[in-house]
Amino acid sequence: MSRLVALTPGQQIVFGGDQVVEVEAELADAFQAGDRLVVVQEDGALLHIPANEYAIVDAAVTAAQAGFAELAAATDDAISDFFESFASRLADDAVFAFIAAANSLDIDRARKRGRSTTRLELSNAMRSGMVAGLRGWRDASASRDEIVRTIEHKGWSVEARRAPLGVVGFVFEGRPNVFADACGVVRSGNAVVFRIGSDALGTALAIVEHALRPALEESGLPHGVVQLVESAAHSAGHALFSDRRLALAVARGSGAAVAQLGAVASQSGIPVSLHGTGGAWVVAGEHANADTLQTVVQHSLDRKVCNTLNVCAIPASRAAQLVPSFLAGLDAAGESRHASPRLHVVDGSASFLPAELFSRSVEVERASGTVTECYATVLPESDLAIEWEWENSPEVTLVVVEDVGQAVMLCNSYSPHFTASLVSSDQHEHEKFYATIEAPFIGNGFTRWVDGQYALNAPELGLSNWQGGRMLGRGAILSGDSVHTVRYRATVTDHQTHR
């Protein structure tokens, strides 16, 4: 068997069993002996992994694999000490000053590149959340080797016991708090290898140097248990998710990038948990209270994350009362951020709004800078699938529907099947909504409750949608204590027992 050492322009590569893609000249020129090529079988994308990037990832996974094996001998108290030590260092102003300085540099670089910094900034609130999350893992019950079930037989018994998975690969966008949250897999006896987005790599390196690594040393846990891939290259993520030593691959970030990473891991035989496309839907029922809808809209647009309101659907029979409430909530959300909101209206719904909204000019704050746009514009129904990635100006889509049934149909057709909320005082409407909507997170008010730490008091690794189908055997909130498998242990008391 020979190895791939070069590529030529126009060279045909087979994918999907019956299709071919041609190598472009740029890829052929860049590819060298020792490099690797991943062919995404879903769409034929050719992913180039330079040898040096592969080596960085290989070293990190090797260290994590060794750390996982050594962690089996560590006590639960040592794991608790690790989380407390990590939290204490983040809470220490003298230590945190180094991390804050690195974060400021990351923010400056991101702004110069026209990148969004709303999730990148390590604010006081984010810092407090990281500390609280780590201390939550400190206080969490030890789940390693926990007996889940005991089955008694005559002369013998079987115990089902929780067991760690192994090495978890984690690729995520530039949100520094996720770095601390995802260390929760250590609580359940796992090791983790991180690849963080380039925007936040400097912050992550500072966290490792000044808080994480000292915490591992102080607690006596093996250094390999938590590894950061020190590379900003996307190819490092591809290398990580094609490493079959991973027990689980977790990706969160933008929809397209996450989907591609998931495809790479899946074709490599690695179980995948994807947390990509978001955007919540709020549906007003026939029995919706106008004041309640206004409050729900306002509190679902306080900042842009995956569970932020993205689409609001209002029945035509209640539009006269509810559209003004929706607009008031949207404006209130903008006022709380000292910004002008931005509205998109589905074609056919514009007549339910004041005409002047479509000619009013507003200053909209985007990642690339402030721009002048119309307050409201019309878009086709198919654009209900767009998730608005706004920076500071709340941005949302409004559609006026015949009834809740049509709203559910549109949500099931265009949304990522993620978060949906029905505003209604009628219980029958709620029961029918719950039964027919395709989403793992259902509510009756603001959408921002969808969060592991906020809702379940457990720092999350990510929130899954049902865009690619429902999850098997677990909820859509992936947390550190849900990363486990089950072992079975038999105890024979009568050795005359046989089959």
State the Cα torsion 425-427-428-429 to the nearest 10°. 50
CA-atom Rg of the chain in angstroms: 25
Q: Residue 432 domain-assigned?
A: yes
Please state the three-class secondary structure of 280-339 as a single string.
Answer: EEEEECCCCCHHHHHHHHHHCCCCCCCCCEEEEEEEHHHHHHHHHHHHHHHHHHHHHCCC
Asked if residue 292 and residue 164 are part of one domain, the reply reads: no
CB 287 within 8 Å of CB 256: no
Asked if residue 208 and residue 331 are part of one domain, the reply reads: no
Q: Tell me the average pLDDT across 409-426.
A: 96
Asked if residue 269 and residue 152 are part of one domain, the reply reads: yes
Asked if residue 302 and residue 246 are part of one domain, the reply reads: no
Q: Residue 335 domain-assigned?
A: yes
Asked if residue 251 and residue 172 are part of one domain, the reply reads: yes
Asked if residue 322 and residue 255 are part of one domain, the reply reads: no
**Tens digit of pLDDT for each residue in 280-301?**
999 999 999 999 999 999 999 9
**Tens digit of pLDDT for each residue in 433-474?**
999 999 999 999 999 999 877 888 777 777 888 887 887 777
**Tens digit of pLDDT for each residue in 337-358?**
999 999 999 999 999 999 999 9
Asked if residue 238 and residue 178 are part of one domain, the reply reads: yes
pLDDT for the residue numbered 486: 92
Asked if residue 320 and residue 203 are part of one domain, the reply reads: no
Using alpha carbons, list the distances in angstroms from residue 97 to 102, 211, 442: 9, 11, 40
Asked if residue 352 and residue 261 are part of one domain, the reply reads: no
pLDDT level of residue 234 (50, 70, 90 thresholds): very high
Q: What is the CATH number for 351?
A: 3.40.309.10
How many structural domains does the chain have?
3
pLDDT for the residue numbered 75: 95
Q: Residue 33 domain-assigned?
A: yes
Structural domain range at position 101:
54-277+478-486
**Tens digit of pLDDT for each residue in 139-177?**
887 778 899 999 999 999 999 999 999 999 999 877 788
Asked if residue 63 and residue 41 are part of one domain, the reply reads: no
pLDDT for the residue numbered 198: 86
Q: Residue 5 domain-assigned?
A: no
Q: Residue 116 domain-assigned?
A: yes
Question: Lowest-confidence range among 50-54, 119-123, 164-168, 217-221?
Answer: 119-123
Residue 15 predicted with pLDDT over 80: yes
Question: Lowest-confidence range among 194-203, 304-313, 373-382?
Answer: 194-203
Percent of the chain topping pLDDT 90: 78
Q: Residue 4 domain-assigned?
A: no
Q: Residue 333 domain-assigned?
A: yes
Q: Residue 459 domain-assigned?
A: no
Q: What is the CATH number for 114?
A: 3.40.605.10
pLDDT for the residue numbered 328: 98
Asked if residue 414 and residue 286 are part of one domain, the reply reads: yes
Asked if residue 68 and residue 39 are part of one domain, the reply reads: no
Q: Tell me the average pLDDT across 417-425.
A: 96
Please indicate whether residue 411 or residue 278 has the higher confidence score (pLDDT): 411
